[in-house]
Amino acid sequence: MLKIDNLHCQVETQDGEEKPILKGLSLDVPAGEVHAIMGPNGSGKSTLSYVLTGRDGYEVTQGSMVFEGEDLSELEPEERAAAGLYLSFQYPVEIPGVPTITFLKEALNAQRTARGEDEVTAPEFMKLIREKAKQLGVSMDMLKRPVNVGFSGGEKKRMEILQALVLEPKFMILDETDSGLDIDALKTVSEGVNALRAPERGMLVITHYQRLLDHITPDVVHIMANGKIVKSGGPELARELEAEGYDKYLGEAA
């Protein structure tokens, strides 16, 4: 479903220099599988999510990233979203003045229009949003508030997963969805993510900690260091990291 081959990426620093971040990263995620990426700060995990979804300021200098046979580098961010690529942000942004419920309805209909599908009607959307919001313990009062404005960290992450439940993307990238969550919120968000597991959907879960993977069991765990994947294995690899840390992998990457 997602095939990344020898991907190199650089960003421009404040003093105008080009800094390489991804340095030959290769990764395959088939449909129906959940892959986790773990790695220390600065290894390039979030950069990978930004490059896949088309964020400005990240220049691919070498390699390829193909999603369902399409070259992602040829698509604008909104085209990637309409194709079914979804990013749950580590730090969700606030959008003052835009009610959350309006944002979700417009996002859903924009994607449906881009795919040549009919828009959902207001009654259809209200039925859908009530059902999905109940699943995550999100109140209608929250949905009437501006997007993420005044929300706690846990509420923002719930909203990220609610967007996914509404949009039903083909491929989800979760960038440190567990950051800022208490134990109860982590359980609720994980249940929402697990509800989206399906044979036709792939997921890439970026995290620092085993605790998220206790709730969202991955099929494959990848360790990332110095801009590339240095080791892959099963769920036991995450437990090994929790016990031993990243030091030996940093040495191998260097």
Instruction: Please say whether the beta carbons of 48 and 25 come within 8 A.
Output: yes
Contacts of 39 (CB under 8 A, 6+ apart): 45, 223, 224, 225, 246
Question: How far, in Å, are 32, 71, 202 from residue 67 at the CA level?
Answer: 14, 7, 11
pLDDT of 254 reads: 57
Q: What is the pLDDT of residue 32?
A: 96
pTM of the model: 0.89
* Amino acid, single-letter form, for residue 157: K
What pairing do the DSSP bridges indicate for beta strands 220-225 and 85-88?
Answer: unpaired
β partners of residue 5: 64
Tens of pLDDT, residue by residue over 207-218, are: 887 888 888 899
Round the average pLDDT of the chain to a whole number and report it.
Answer: 91
Pick the CATH number of 2-253 from 3.40.50.1100, 3.90.79.10, 3.40.50.300, 3.40.630.30: 3.40.50.300
Cα–Cα distance measured from residue 140 to residue 10, given in angstroms and rounded to the nearest whole number: 42
**Position 70, amino acid:** E
Q: Concatenate the DSSP letters of all residues of 177-220 into one string.
A: TTTT--HHHHHHHHHHHHHT--TT-EEEEEES-HHHHTTS--SE
Three-state DSSP state, 89:
coil
First to last CA, the chain: 30
CB 12 within 8 A of CB 181: no
Per-residue pLDDT of the chain (254 residues; tens, 9 = 90+): 999 999 999 998 888 889 999 999 999 999 999 999 998 888 899 999 999 999 998 999 999 999 999 999 999 999 999 999 999 988 899 999 999 999 999 999 999 999 899 999 999 999 999 999 998 889 999 999 999 999 988 888 889 989 999 999 999 999 988 777 778 888 888 888 898 899 999 999 998 878 888 888 999 999 999 999 999 999 999 888 878 887 877 766 55
pLDDT, position 251: 65
Q: Count the alpha carbons within 13 Å of 147 in the hemisphere toward its beta carbon.
A: 19
